[in-house]
Amino acid sequence: MTRIGIVAGEASGDLLGSHLIRALKQQRPDIQFVGIAGPKMMSEGALSLFPIERLSVRGYLEVIKHLWGLLKLRRQLLNHFLDNRLDLFIGIDAPDFNFWLEKKLKNKGIKAIHYVSPSIWAWRKKRIKKIKHSVTEILALFPFEPALYQHEGIPVSYVGHPLADMLPLVPDVAGARETLKLDPSALVVAMLPGSRQSEVQQHADLFVQTAKRIYAERPDARFLVPLITRETRQIFELVIFNEPERLPIELLFGHAHEAMEAADVVIVASGTATLEAALLKKPMVITYRMPNLSWQLLKRMRLQPYVGLPNVLAGKFVVPELLQDDATPEKLADAALKLVTDKDNLLEIEKEFTQIHHSLRQNTAEKAAAAVLAYLK
């Protein structure tokens, strides 16, 4: 039996991990995967020693609050891996957690592959020195990343992004609206406040107040809010309950893809969901709020003027970003309504996002599996 240690830290990593596990098992059904996995990875057979939610912490203050528990968990995981010999380790994103594990395992002679380059192109560029000592190889999702690692002599493979393989080049808007029982003529706004509880707590009231302003301008508007856990749904429900005006907001359990595909415009917290919206060719307003101290620290380390993945990949502001103090209901509503009425801009956005889709469509799971299997031979 071949044993691979694997650790994912959030929903996007769980998606990547599930595709990779499936592709590897098609060629090597004897492989056993063990570590920290989400529901999608577990459905492919991965054994999770701890809940993935334990790693879903973002922002300096949040990390500090949970630091002791994270350090203890990481030490327990390392001891398990060393006591139950691994043939290989794969860390999926969660860089601050996984690079430490990878370095410890690599020093013990265990190959360590890191799947998803951290955003060294956006902030904390000096991390690449630490990465060089921690990993055996990097699997990069974006085409501009390999050159950064090659310059430092770090083995790297560009594998593309699995969402580009999964999503059609032309979205089926009518089909998605029919599935969700939406009026074909309505203005549909998809609102994605994030996958973590801390993100939804930051964004729920902001999004409800934004919906209120859009609805005042466009009474035909309908709002879809996909949420992936019972806890995040409860947070958003409470905000809606405390809003005296009844708004046409529908909470969905999952179904983020369908909600965005059906939408005329998307209001989305910065993260992987912005990439999915781009691959669905949707105009969007990218936003984000976090505790102010975390924002002040992060702002000082930024290397680019944009944070949203669609803008990073395009190398320019294709869609607006309203972050922190600029993230107000008035500004978000105005930006969203402006997007849906500017026809020339909508065509330009579709063109840019189609180019991004083609560049990321690389048969990712198979490419990543091939890179992993090379070390198992």
Please give the Cα distance from 78 to 104 (Å, whole number): 8
Domain 173-360 has CATH 3.40.50.2000: yes
Residue range 288-295: mean pLDDT, rounded: 83
Listed in order, the ranges of the chain carrying CATH 3.40.50.2000 are 2-160+362-376, 173-360
377 compared with 337, residue with greater pLDDT: 337
pLDDT at 196: 84
121: pLDDT strictly greater than 80: no
Cβ 92 vs Cβ 6: under 8 Å: yes
321 confidence band (pLDDT: 50, 70, 90)? very high
141: pLDDT strictly greater than 80: yes
Q: How many CB atoms neighbour CB 54 within 10 A?
A: 14
216: pLDDT strictly greater than 80: yes
Q: What is the pTM of this model?
A: 0.83
Contacts of 48 (CB under 8 A, 6+ apart): 35, 36, 37, 38, 41, 42
Residue 222 in tokens? 């309908």
Please give the Cα distance from 131 to 138 (Å, whole number): 9
54 confidence band (pLDDT: 50, 70, 90)? confident
Q: How many CB atoms neighbour CB 292 within 10 A?
A: 11
Residue range 301-306: mean pLDDT, rounded: 69
For 2-160+362-376, the fitting CATH number among 3.20.20.150, 3.20.20.60, 3.40.50.2000, 3.40.50.720 is 3.40.50.2000
At residue 309's C-alpha, the angle toward residues 141 and 158, to 5°, is 15
